[in-house]
Chain A
Amino acid sequence: MVDPISAKIRFEDVSYAYGKDTVLRNIKLGIPSNHITVLFGPAGSGKSTLLRLINRLNDLADDTSLTGRVLLDDEDIYAAGTDVAALRRRVGMVFALPLPLPGTIRYNVLYGPTLGSIQKQADLDSLLVQSLQRAALWDEVKDRLDSPANRLSGGQQQRLCIARSLAQQPEVLLLDEPTSGLDPISTAKVEESLMELERECTIVIVPHSVQQGARLSDYAAFLLMGELVEQGPDKQLFTAPKDKRTEDYVTGRFG
């Protein structure tokens, strides 16, 4: 278990259900700050659900129930009076499918900032360049910032989505299988930029393969049917798992 003092995000006995269907059970998890935490497990084990709890993206779903507490910097994000929009500016999210918003590349990257705080043109311009650079996309799009975002290739669109999140200067970045639709070269570019980012940002990623998880892991947690089976630092879960079920899964003897 991560030392609770250095944990950026903590799950304290969290259970979550869609209707009567309990999909997360008694999750106890500490996510270390400024590192990459890999969250992996078979399909339907609740990885996406767990991520969506961190930015309260499931708030609009009907008939769900949450018990336990989710803490960000030791504050309960589900406490009454929490500013959800502000929380989501602090916690960015990148999805499996690259989904540019309808509009230009520039519009996409600056979507978050123009919604909220930043309005000065000079600030926006530098933010645009910076975010695209950090997502390793700048060189490919610098000459066509005002063309429609959906003309980019899939890999470029995904990096655009990452740039869009980065423009918010988030403290936490959640990524749900961000490279599942990408070719190996784009995947490598995305992974590279994530490793750069971890210096300034806490990253939680659901990898699209065990290998990717092993490559990126500073800390890892294995989820199986809503239960957190095992968690540990570095590549421990991939090289020396303690639980038989983790071992079966990472060696591919499972599901």
Chain B
Amino acid sequence: MGKNKPAASRADRAVEALLRVAGLSTIGMVVLIFVFLLQQGLPVFFRVPLRDFLGTRWYPTEGYYGALPLILGSLLVTVVAVVVAVPLGICTAVFVRELAPGWVRELLKPAIEVLAGIPSVVLGFLGMTVIAPWVRTTLGAPTGLTALTGAVILAYMALPTIISVAEDALDAVPKSLRDASLAMGATRWQTIWKVTVPAARSGIVTAIMLGMGRAIGETMAVMMVTGNAARMPLTADSLFRPVRTITATIAAEMGEVANGSTHYQALFALGILLFLVTFLINLTAASAIFAKRRQGGLR
């Protein structure tokens, strides 16, 4: 608090203290979780050298802790999901905000929010009973439980986040900016792609990052539809073969390991990795927002 501010009333100060405690304890919680992860997970590197941890075979029962297939599995599924979800999500947001007539928008917005609320297990059902058979029959894959199936489900899960955050960003672009472009003789279409979307760019980046965060951290649906085979997804057809992700591995194996065992620590190390990746993604999203603010950009 600045020294030259007028003395705040007692109630003001109490509220401020309360807010500060709440804010700090949230940060404290995150730090504690990270410390806990580190404490439980890092010791694995005394038993499994980093080189082996980045190996290509994950057979904990036989002492192989090569996490590379899991890392690449998560990466493959997430990247494909993002590649599917981002264009779709942005186009939907543009449609909802810029093109749809008023009543359609009023209908779509709550519908999209409902989508966001569907439990991931339910999407897992959908993946197993609808998408998996479809992948098997149309692509001729040996099984329908593949990386592609997981990616499609993840894309579906990331969509509501991407759409609503991107739509908010478009909504924050002043109407007068659109008017300025239209008044120059630009068509509605040119205005959308040359003015409105660029003006909302930082919010759209945030939307993508949040969608990606949602995809990479998702466990249940992915576990149900990706087949969970810990193989290196390096061949050209990997997308149509089963994969195993980091999250699915932790969820499936955590219940069976002895506290403090190498396997236990290895799973925590995977958790650290996941935490760091999600943290980085969120940091990128946040810095996009800050950069925009500093620039004194349009809001």
Could you tell me which residues of chain A, from 143 to 176, have a CB within 8 Å of some CB in chain B? 148, 150, 161, 164-165, 168
Residue in B101, B102, B186 whose beta carbon sits within 8 Å of that of A85 in the complex = B186
Closest 4 CB pairs of A and B: A89-B185, A88-B185, A93-B183, A112-B184
Residue contact A150 to B182, C-beta cutoff 8 Å: no
Inter-chain contacts of B179 with A (CB < 8 A): 57, 95
Q: A102-B199, A161-B180 are in contact. List 13 more A-B contacts (CB 8 A).
A: A86-B185, A88-B185, A95-B179, A97-B176, A99-B180, A101-B180, A101-B199, A102-B198, A112-B186, A116-B185, A150-B296, A164-B184, A165-B183
Residue contact A112 to B185, C-beta cutoff 8 Å: yes
Main secondary structure of the interface of A (DSSP, over half): mixed
Confirm or deny: A79 has a beta carbon within 8 angstroms of a beta carbon on chain B.
no
Question: Closest B-chain residue to A55, C-beta based?
Answer: B183
Once bound together, how far apart are the Cα atoms of A193 and B198, in whole Å? 31
Confirm or deny: B277 has a beta carbon within 8 angstroms of a beta carbon on chain A.
no
Confirm or deny: A103 has a beta carbon within 8 angstroms of a beta carbon on chain B.
yes
Most buried by A among B176, B184, B187: B184
Residue contact A57 to B183, C-beta cutoff 8 Å: yes
- Which of under 10, 10 to 19, 20 to 34, or 35 or more describes the interface residues of B? 20 to 34
Confirm or deny: B143 has a beta carbon within 8 angstroms of a beta carbon on chain A.
no
Interface string of A200-212 (1 = CB under 8 A from B): 0000000000000
CB pairs A–B below 8 angstroms (19 shown):
A88-B184, A88-B185, A89-B184, A89-B185, A92-B184, A93-B183, A95-B176, A99-B177, A101-B177, A102-B198, A102-B199, A102-B298, A111-B184, A111-B186, A115-B185, A115-B186, A150-B297, A150-B298, A168-B185
Once bound together, how far apart are the Cα atoms of A67 and B183, in whole Å? 22
Once bound together, how far apart are the Cα atoms of A93 and B180, in whole Å? 8
Confirm or deny: A60 has a beta carbon within 8 angstroms of a beta carbon on chain B.
yes
Question: Closest B-chain residue to A93, C-beta based?
Answer: B183
B103 to A: closest C-beta gap in Å: 10
Once bound together, how far apart are the Cα atoms of A89 and B182, in whole Å? 10
Residue in A55, A62, A111, A168 whose beta carbon sits within 8 Å of that of B102 in the complex = A62
Residue contact B195 to A115, C-beta cutoff 8 Å: no
With A99-B177, A102-B199 already in contact, the answer to whether A57 and B182 are too (CB < 8 A) is: yes
Confirm or deny: B174 has a beta carbon within 8 angstroms of a beta carbon on chain A.
yes
Question: Closest A-chain residue to B186, C-beta based?
Answer: A115
